[in-house]
């Protein structure tokens, strides 16, 4: 269970996140001193799911670190769709709120899609609004989802070429898999998207120069499923009593990969840092 | 150069288009008699590119066949972006116009993207507006691009299962490749998107249960590049002095494929018929 000797292959998500946060900090200071604007993020949490609470807390802490003003809106689990939309409407109109983040998942009786669409596209820090998704799809990237954006940033940081490469994305969620594939396609990679209905996952993953796994299945990807020298991003998080696990069998896969993100400390922190970048972008554009 | 003995493998696009147009016709009659609404399509052509003129004419003829009222707006090649947007604005407001089609390509000095975005999403018969593209991407398909929609319809018509199948799309345009891949992904196929930067096209096409080719390269796909029993859609059109050619080497590939669209008479007529369906849909929703 040791990765001794392979440390140089680990993509250090925490270090990259710090670097991105430092960029945000200095741009933010320029925005404050130059135009007197302090970026503001409003988070909305419906209900008291402990994991969701934790994610919101992590985002608020990041806001504090970079100097973003953060509002914490917590609604009871029994909130109606109308009440949720009405809060979103008021935040859309609030000029001190430049970006809105609706923490998912919502309680079952609420429609996340309708709520997401109610967020003004220019305040859509998560990039989940259909308008922003469509812009991404046609290659005019504005506000894009944070996790895929962070992965693209990491590839740039580690000088991994994308154009013409064979990229495989495992998982076809709206949050990660689909926007990730679109971003690679915009950069002229050849992409494949696999998921729970894929009949021969290994045939695909074996061909991947770059592999992004967002399936939420502990250790789905084993060493015999990847190509030598592959670059691997592990978006999965499975919480068990004895720790947190990714979708990739890290200890064995690292011996074959050229670069790989750990779980935790890989994609997670970078995602949060990209969110800060998006809030800043919303504030810069909105006035 | 004969396909004798293989005729049953040909997807008859003309017949399918007639069937779709018949559906539109009867739904349209119900709409007229029931609610007094005659669906209206406004086409916009900028300049006098002969191919574009022909495409617009084909669409107008289809409108005539099914009973859609069609307006033909032809602007001179030197039209400014402002003039184009102003026409679109007036058509957006016109209650007799339920759907708007901007014929592409536009003259070089105009921005197709900005013009497309100016079209009201609910009148966007081609499904190219970012909002509609985004809805498609997140799996909530409303107005989607006509060619991919026609191909999905043909698969249904010929009882070809999609879920879990290996689908390869060649070409990553906003008009065909990207929305096509999204529609397959929404139906839980495993998808790969190849294009001009793909390093080993054959490796991908050989694995395809369903292959959609929209590269615009005459006879790009040869018999040795496809799997036995593959289902093949040829979206390519290359016009040469002696005829029109698709992206697939039809005469040889048909001997290996289980189903294949010819060029012409395959995807083309179905695309036009789907446009009629979309205009009808716009009219049904808009009042």
Quote ipTM for the complex.
Answer: 0.96
Share of chain A above pLDDT 90, in %: 97
Is the pLDDT at B40 greater than 70? The verdict is: yes
Name the one residue in this structure whose structure tokens are 């997670």.
Answer: A268
Residues A264 and A160 in one domain: yes
Q: Of the candidates B193, B267, B195, which has an alpha carbon nearest to the alpha carbon of residue B233?
A: B267
Tell me the average pLDDT across A228-238.
Answer: 97
pLDDT tens readout for residues A138-165: 999 999 999 999 999 999 999 999 999 9
Residues in chain B: 287
Task: Compute the distance between CA of residue A155 and CA of residue A280 in angstroms, rounded to an integer.
Answer: 22
Residues A189 and A263 in one domain: yes
Task: Compute the distance between CA of residue A220 and CA of residue A124 in angstroms, rounded to an integer.
Answer: 32
Name the one residue in this structure whose structure tokens are 């993509």.
Answer: A11
Q: Return binding residues of A for NADP(+).
A: 171-173, 237
Is the pLDDT at B82 greater than 70? The verdict is: yes
Task: Compute the distance between CA of residue B146 and CA of residue B120 in angstroms, rounded to an integer.
Answer: 17
Radius of gyration of chain A (CA): 19
Q: Does residue B170 lie within any of the structural domains?
A: yes
Q: Does residue B28 lie within any of the structural domains?
A: no
Is the pLDDT at B162 greater than 90? The verdict is: yes
Tell me the average pLDDT across A114-137.
Answer: 98
Residues A249 and A153 in one domain: yes
- Predicted pLDDT of residue B3: 85
Answer whether A130 sits within 8 Å of B139, measured CB to CB. Answer: no
Residues B96 and B54 in one domain: yes
Is the pLDDT at A286 greater than 80? The verdict is: no
Name the one residue in this structure whose structure tokens are 């302090």.
Answer: A38
Residues in chain A: 287
- Predicted pLDDT of residue A111: 97
Task: Compute the distance between CA of residue B81 and CA of residue A201 in angstroms, rounded to an integer.
Answer: 48
Confidence of residue B1 (pLDDT cuts 50, 70, 90): low
Q: Is B103 considered catalytic here?
A: yes
Q: Does residue B29 lie within any of the structural domains?
A: no
Is the pLDDT at B236 greater than 90? The verdict is: yes
- Predicted pLDDT of residue B87: 98
Name the strand (E) or helix (H) holding A43: strand A40-46
Answer whether B130 sits within 8 Å of A129, measured CB to CB. Answer: no
When the pLDDT of each residue in chain A is averaged and rounded to a whole number, the result is 97
The phi and psi torsions of A272 (rounded to 5 degrees) equal -65, -40
Q: Does residue A194 lie within any of the structural domains?
A: yes
Tell me the average pLDDT across B177-206.
Answer: 98
Is the pLDDT at A248 greater than 70? The verdict is: yes
User: What is the extent of the structural domain holding A265?
Assistant: 145-269
**Beta strands, E only, A48-146:** 69-75, 99-102
Task: Compute the distance between CA of residue B27 and CA of residue B66 in angstroms, rounded to an integer.
Answer: 10
pLDDT tens readout for residues A78-93: 999 999 999 999 999 9
Task: Compute the distance between CA of residue B129 and CA of residue B114 in angstroms, rounded to an integer.
Answer: 10
Task: Compute the distance between CA of residue B47 and CA of residue B75 in angstroms, rounded to an integer.
Answer: 6
Residues B110 and B201 in one domain: no
Q: Does residue B97 lie within any of the structural domains?
A: yes
Binding-site residues on chain B for chain A (CB distance < 8 A): 113, 128-140, 163-164, 166, 172, 174, 178-179, 181-182, 185, 188-195, 197-199, 203-204, 207
Tell me the average pLDDT across B89-105.
Answer: 97
pLDDT tens readout for residues B239-273: 999 999 999 999 999 999 999 999 999 999 999 99
Dihedral sign, Cα of residue B280, residue B126, residue B182, residue B216: positive
Confidence of residue B52 (pLDDT cuts 50, 70, 90): very high
Confidence of residue A3 (pLDDT cuts 50, 70, 90): confident
Tell me the average pLDDT across A251-262.
Answer: 98
Task: Compute the distance between CA of residue B13 and CA of residue B268 in angstroms, rounded to an integer.
Answer: 7
- How far A237 CA lies from chain B's nearest CA (Å)? 22
- Predicted pLDDT of residue A34: 95
Of the residues B126, B209, B247, B249, only one is catalytic, namely B126
- Predicted pLDDT of residue A181: 98
CB-closest option in B134, B178, B179 to A132: B134
Residues A149 and A90 in one domain: no
The SS3 call for residue A228 is coil
Is the pLDDT at B220 greater than 90? The verdict is: yes
Number of separate domains in chain B: 2
Phi/psi-derived region of residue B47, left when phi > 0, alpha when psi is between -120 and 50, beta in every other case: left
- Predicted pLDDT of residue A274: 98
Answer whether B130 sits within 8 Å of A131, measured CB to CB. Answer: yes
**Which of chain A's residues have a Cβ under 8 Å away from the Cβ of B118?**
none
Residues B162 and B260 in one domain: yes
- Predicted pLDDT of residue A100: 98
User: Which sequence positions of A are flagged as catalytic?
Assistant: 59, 103, 126
Is the pLDDT at A1 greater than 90? The verdict is: no
- Predicted pLDDT of residue A200: 97
Is the pLDDT at A213 greater than 70? The verdict is: yes
Is the pLDDT at B37 greater than 90? The verdict is: yes
Q: How far is CA A103 from CA A107, A110, A115, A213, B89, in A?
A: 11, 13, 11, 22, 36
Answer whether A185 sits within 8 Å of B197, measured CB to CB. Answer: no
Residue A193: give its domain's CATH number: 3.40.50.720
Residues A150 and A106 in one domain: no
Residues A58 and A100 in one domain: yes
Q: Is B247 considered catalytic here?
A: no
Q: Does residue B280 lie within any of the structural domains?
A: no
Residue B109: give its domain's CATH number: 3.40.50.10860
Answer whether B113 sits within 8 Å of A137, measured CB to CB. Answer: no
- Predicted pLDDT of residue B93: 98
Task: Compute the distance between CA of residue B279 and CA of residue B20 in angstroms, rounded to an integer.
Answer: 13
- Predicted pLDDT of residue A50: 93
Residues A157 and A226 in one domain: yes
């Amino acid at each position: 269970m040791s990765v001794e000797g392979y440390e140089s292959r680990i993509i250090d998500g925490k270090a990259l996140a710090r670097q991105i946060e430092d960029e945000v900090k200095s741009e933010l200071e320029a925005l404050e001193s130059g135009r007197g604007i302090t970026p503001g993020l409003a988070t909305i949490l419906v209900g008291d799911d402990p994991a969701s609470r934790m994610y919101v807390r992590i985002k608020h802490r990041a806001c504090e670190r970079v100097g973003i003003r953060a509002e914490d809106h917590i609604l009871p689990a029994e909130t109606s769709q109308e009440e949720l939309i009405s809060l979103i409407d008021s935040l859309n109109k609030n000029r001190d709120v430049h970006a809105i983040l609706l923490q998912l998942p919502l309680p079952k009786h609420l429609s996340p899609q309708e709520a997401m669409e109610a967020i003004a596209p220019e305040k859509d820090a998560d990039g989940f609004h259909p308008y922003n998704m469509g812009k991404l799809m046609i290659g005019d990237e504005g506000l894009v989802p944070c996790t895929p954006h962070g992965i693209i940033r990491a590839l740039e940081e580690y000088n991994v070429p994308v154009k013409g490469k064979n990229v495989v994305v495992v998982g076809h969620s709206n949050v990660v898999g689909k926007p990730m594939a679109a971003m690679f396609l915009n950069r002229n990679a050849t992409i494949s998207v696999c998921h729970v209905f894929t009949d021969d996952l290994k045939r695909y993953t074996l061909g991947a120069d770059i592999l992004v796994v967002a399936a939420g299945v502990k250790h789905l990807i084993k060493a015999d499923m990847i190509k030598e020298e592959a670059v691997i991003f592990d978006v999965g998080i499975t919480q068990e009593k004895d720790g947190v696990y990714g979708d990739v069998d890290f200890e064995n896969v690292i011996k074959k990969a050229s670069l790989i993100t750990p779980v935790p400390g890989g994609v997670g922190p970078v995602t949060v840092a990209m969110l800060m970048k998006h809030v800043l972008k919303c504030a810069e554009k909105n006035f």
